[in-house]
Amino acid sequence: MPYVLGIDIASTRTTAATCVNSGDGWGVPEPSWLGARGPAAASAVFLDDDGYLLTGDAAVEAGRSAPARLLTGFHERVGDDVPVIVGGERFPAESLSAVLVDAAVDQAAERFGEKPHHIVLTHPVGWGSFRRDLLRRALAEAGFPRAALVASPVAALHAYLAPHGDVTAGVCEFGPDGAVVTIAAATAVNGWQPIKTLEGVDPAEAVGKVFELAHGAGVPPQSLAGIVLCGEAPPVPGRTPCPLFASSDPVLTVATGAANIAARRDLPQPGGVGSHAVATIETTLLPRVDVSEELTERPERPPVDITPFPLPERTGAAKLLSRRKPLVAGAAVVVLAATTLLLTLTTREATADKGPEAPPTTSSSCAPPTPGATPSTPEGRC
């Protein structure tokens, strides 16, 4: 029985949904059970000492005894310069994401007895072409060269709203780090296309942020085709100017929309419509990063402006000797030296003209008497 598979890899959990063609057309997407206790499984990979892999909830359970070999949060690191390191080995993040895809495909194949005819995998809305190309390359190496990639808010919209006419809608993706709010516009040619996105939004303000983004795009809130709530969504708020769409399990919404896209071939398929996916490569080892292959050029990084630390303004003589005023500093040094030399020479000349001092003259009582004068001192006193 032909079927297609939609997969959503989020920061903490992975979900999948299948859509079956029973001969009368494609049916309604149904969740594909990945977890130990529910449809969602942990976005985790565990590498044991022998190089064998465990994924999902089984990986988390094994990681309790060896946390250094448990890998999580790698899907958001696709495109980072620093690889994921475990057991002394380096692994690209996109290869770990491909391992989760392979596990989801194996679960579906075990149920239906064959591989899916087509796979659609979601990615964060902020990814550029460089990250998408890295993930496509990793999927091709894992045996999924025809897998299609779509932004997660676009997949969420396809769970409820077909892109008919020129309309605008919003998506609120709730996660552990807040909500990602997106508005997207639908055209007859390109389908849903994201217009504006905000990340890290307070979950209580997510719906209001959709209306703010719509107002900035010139769309009144009542003109929105609807707002889709997905992920770890809080309780649905009260009355809103436009419809709200939230299932009983909004964690599965993105994967359900991805399965709808895969079934209706809303994306151009490499190799032509109707071509079947190549069988996956059965392996228990992660691909090593030994030789880096040729990739597309990295996006330009924004310029970095480095502001020098402002030094305190110098005062007094130090200010004159600063590098900003070299001529003034030089003149000050010359004047100071000339003044010191002039004072030294003047002091020496004044000292040389006076010569040795004569002793003071004192009167003597033994001087000879003046003729005709009466001596005042008796004789014999000298």
Mean local confidence (pLDDT), 108-132: 94
Q: What is the pLDDT of residue 364?
A: 44
**Does the structure show a pLDDT above 80 at 305?**
no
Which residues pair with residue 21 across a beta bridge?
Answer: 26
Domain ranges in the chain? 1-159+249-295, 163-246
Cα–Cα distances in Å, from 362 out to 88, 355, 366, 367, 381?
Answer: 109, 21, 12, 12, 17
Is 163-246 the same fold as 1-159+249-295? Answer: yes
What is the pLDDT confidence band of residue 72, given thresholds at 50, 70 and 90?
very high
Q: What is the pLDDT of residue 265?
A: 67
Mean per-residue pLDDT over the chain, rounded: 79
**Does the structure show a pLDDT above 70 at 349?**
no
CATH of domain 1-159+249-295: 3.30.420.40
Mean local confidence (pLDDT), 60-74: 91
Q: What is the dihedral of CA 257, 258, 261, 263, to 10 degrees?
A: -100
| Spatial CB neighbours of 277, under 8 Å, sequence gap ≥ 6 | 115, 116, 117, 118, 119, 144, 145, 146, 147
**Does the structure show a pLDDT above 90 at 29?**
yes
pLDDT in tens, 138-188: 999 999 999 999 999 999 999 999 887 789 999 999 998 899 999 999 876
Percent of the chain with pLDDT over 90: 52
Q: What is the pLDDT of residue 312?
A: 54
Cα–Cα distances in Å, from 160 out to 33, 124, 226?
Answer: 21, 19, 9
CATH T-level fold of 163-246: Nucleotidyltransferase; domain 5 (3.30.420)
Q: What is the pLDDT of residue 200?
A: 93
What is the reported pTM?
Answer: 0.69
Q: What is the pLDDT of residue 89?
A: 77
Q: What is the pLDDT of residue 320?
A: 41
- Mean pLDDT lowest for which of 198-212, 216-230, 237-251, 333-347? 333-347
**Does the structure show a pLDDT above 90 at 347?**
no
- Mean pLDDT lowest for which of 33-47, 289-303, 367-381? 367-381
What is the pLDDT confidence band of residue 31, given thresholds at 50, 70 and 90?
very high
What is the pLDDT confidence band of residue 284, given thresholds at 50, 70 and 90?
very low
Q: What is the pLDDT of residue 299?
A: 59
Mean local confidence (pLDDT), 82-86: 81
Residue 211 is inside which H or E element, if any? Answer: helix 206-216
Task: State the helix-helix crossing angle for 129-141 and 93-112, rounded to 10 degrees.
Answer: 50
Mean local confidence (pLDDT), 30-54: 89
**Does the structure show a pLDDT above 70 at 380?**
no
Mean local confidence (pLDDT), 122-148: 94
DSSP 179: E
Position of tokens 């030296």?
337
Q: What is the pLDDT of residue 222?
A: 93
Cα–Cα distances in Å, from 353 out to 282, 303, 341, 358?
Answer: 114, 76, 19, 14
